[in-house]
Structure 1
């Protein structure tokens, strides 16, 4: 009888043990940390990252994040929530939760962000229990701009970003245009740490002697783990109305560097309309007009120089260059950050100018960049691509052909096969 009572007592103790287990302080924690650029108070419309981090020792069945209203702020979530296993300093295992939100203050002032709440449904000895885990409130002052410009000024447009880049493309090249012909200009502006609505309106492109027809403006926001990237594409159709060389001035876009906390400028480059220069970067422009006497003198000089070179055996090789369509394709792929399209355009260009491959292979910096490009495209698992814009500019320059026998298959040096000595 005593043994039976003892056994019943032990069973009741074991059954009651888990039911009496309570959540202890520190078992469920939620923190929200603001990430300020340069550890400085942000200005209006400047991005601040909120990193939400939870650590939970209990088994979780369901969960929901209850976000405060975030009055006076715009916001966007960057990617999906991340759940992972983590080890605590005491060696215990726990579940980690991470979410990143980008917020943008509407105006200056001293603000307090209310707590975030992570509503968890836990399993406690087979019984469901709902627990609200709260973060601490956050003080977030937004600074007032001092000096000219700034968030409240109508001009120049306020553009706070980590970095701003501009890509300018024409089709066909504006130097080749004649009266009545038209070209399409496409300008792409990218700003890191912004949403597309924060990019400026289409710039005004106007000068004497041209007709411009503005096209639609396309905006998009690309979400990355480091924050949003804003992209705006502006386009115009441009037509010269006079038979002259028309200079088109550069357009500057002011922006606030949120890393260095200074104002900077990005530029839509100046171009020339007309003049008959078929996209020859690095080559001197020809004169717009030449007299018959100058033409005759130049012809005689060229004839005499040719005889001198033949007489003295002076060489140096012909100048080689990728064709204009290939150069434009490289620039488009570089602007899009598309290494695969870049490599494809390069291969097509080399089919027309195969002599370029061994020359580039003999240039250490170019050869290194091309090898990095091939690893990015062909290596298993991928590899970081080189600076495509810089590489496109380098490959677009004319080069002088070396003397001697050429490689039988000029694509081999770019595909990792060494050229014969």
Structure 2
């Protein structure tokens, strides 16, 4: 039986367009991210394909996510194949540039024969404006040039720095999230230095999250901090200037100021001689100790419970009551970094894992995402978790500088 011949390619059957997504509909500055949306519409069936990209001189670039193929309906009702790719480009310096044509090399079936067709986009003028303000800008080393749609800072300590005494340590974790940029553009670890403390810098982790509204960059800095003097030590705030790509103005985020210490390792209260307990108090204490011993025997050696600090639980409850999913997610992220054992238990529990997944969809994929149950999730995360073997955090702490006692 004879098969029907394939229709010949007509003008308009295969089209490729490249559209720059300029922030605030304005010409970008150097090192500011611009998205190039590559969109192809093809009426002919595609057998093979290859995108030939121009050299993109004077630009750095990275592809965001994978290529997407889908079915689409044209205005005349015909069915076609749609191709989409998103590329982020970063101009190196100011000037007038041109994005040369992209080429989509397609192998199609025309009249029963394979044919290779090159579909080209149009060249795009791409002006990059110079920075004219007196301070800042993309060409100076300080302050760090940070162009983004929005910047949030999360600061967490474990334990609270105000409760740390001389000879003890606390761990500080700072997370910066910037919408509309990739992780490589986030600043290096800030310097946290003041008189009277010892700081030990931990690893820096960076990641780029691909969302329907664009990339979200995240960087996490970590320090272990020990007071070196018995006095209260004020730690100044750290300012992070950034350029708002939507309003085209400079703004400032801040790592907040904190107080370290306040309790002495050997204060007058600690050195005071213990008061003699009355016979009744001593008897009550003995009975309590005996009952506690029986309870421990029944509970089983090695069992333990972990729970979020009260301050974190209150912050989750406030964010849930306000319906603020972004603030709720920031508190959860800090808690997961500070308490990895709790975070692992949350991920293993199907209920809390589903709630966290719904929260991430609400924050990072707001288009069409359902509203998470923030009060229910806050209650679930605030519950104490029981462990067969208490998580041992002794190895996470730094050894004293003077060696073991």
TM-score interval, normalised by the smaller of the two chains: 0.5 to 0.7
Residue 9 of structure 2: which of 6, 23, 27 is its match?
Answer: 23
Mapped contact 1:253–1:265 kept (Cα < 8 A): yes
The residue number in structure 2 matching 1:355 is: none
Mapped contact 1:375–1:382 kept (Cα < 8 A): no
Mapped contact 2:166–2:263 kept (Cα < 8 A): no
Unaligned runs of 5+ in 1: 1-13, 278-287, 291-321, 349-372, 397-421
**Pairing 1:315-326 to 2, within 5 Å after superposition:** 325=309
The residue number in structure 2 matching 1:88 is: 74
The residue number in structure 2 matching 1:107 is: 93
The residue number in structure 2 matching 1:270 is: 257
The residue number in structure 1 matching 2:175 is: 188
The verdict on how the C-alpha distance between 1:338 and 1:251 changes in structure 2, with shifts beyond 3 A counting, is closer
The verdict on how the C-alpha distance between 1:222 and 1:120 changes in structure 2, with shifts beyond 3 A counting, is same
**Pairing 1:11-410 to 2, within 5 Å after superposition:** 18=5, 22-147=8-133, 148-276=135-263, 325=309, 327-328=311-312, 334-335=329-330, 376=358, 383-385=370-372
The residue number in structure 1 matching 2:290 is: none
The verdict on how the C-alpha distance between 1:209 and 1:53 changes in structure 2, with shifts beyond 3 A counting, is same
Q: TM-score normalized by structure 2?
A: 0.68
The verdict on how the C-alpha distance between 1:275 and 1:238 changes in structure 2, with shifts beyond 3 A counting, is same
The residue number in structure 1 matching 2:323 is: none
Q: Secondary structure at the match of 2:12?
A: coil
The verdict on how the C-alpha distance between 1:128 and 1:228 changes in structure 2, with shifts beyond 3 A counting, is same
1:82 deviation in Å? 1.6
Q: Secondary structure at the match of 2:162?
A: helix
Q: Secondary structure at the match of 1:197?
A: helix
Q: Secondary structure at the match of 2:309?
A: helix
Equivalent pairs, count? 310
Counterpart-to-counterpart distance in 1, 2:250 and 2:372: 30
The residue number in structure 1 matching 2:286 is: none
The residue number in structure 2 matching 1:363 is: none
Counterpart-to-counterpart distance in 2, 1:257 and 1:248: 28
The residue number in structure 1 matching 2:297 is: none
Q: Which moved more, 1:227-236 or 1:157-166?
A: 227-236
Mapped contact 2:43–2:79 kept (Cα < 8 A): yes
Mapped contact 1:31–1:135 kept (Cα < 8 A): yes
Q: Secondary structure at the match of 1:45?
A: coil
Mapped contact 1:375–1:383 kept (Cα < 8 A): no
The verdict on how the C-alpha distance between 1:187 and 1:38 changes in structure 2, with shifts beyond 3 A counting, is same
Query: RMSD across aligned C-alpha pairs, in angstroms?
Result: 3.8
The verdict on how the C-alpha distance between 1:180 and 1:375 changes in structure 2, with shifts beyond 3 A counting, is closer
Q: Secondary structure at the match of 1:221?
A: strand
The verdict on how the C-alpha distance between 1:337 and 1:128 changes in structure 2, with shifts beyond 3 A counting, is farther
Mapped contact 2:176–2:220 kept (Cα < 8 A): yes
Q: TM-score normalized by structure 1?
A: 0.65
1:324 deviation in Å? 5.8
Unaligned runs of 5+ in 2: 270-305, 317-326, 346-354, 360-367, 383-405
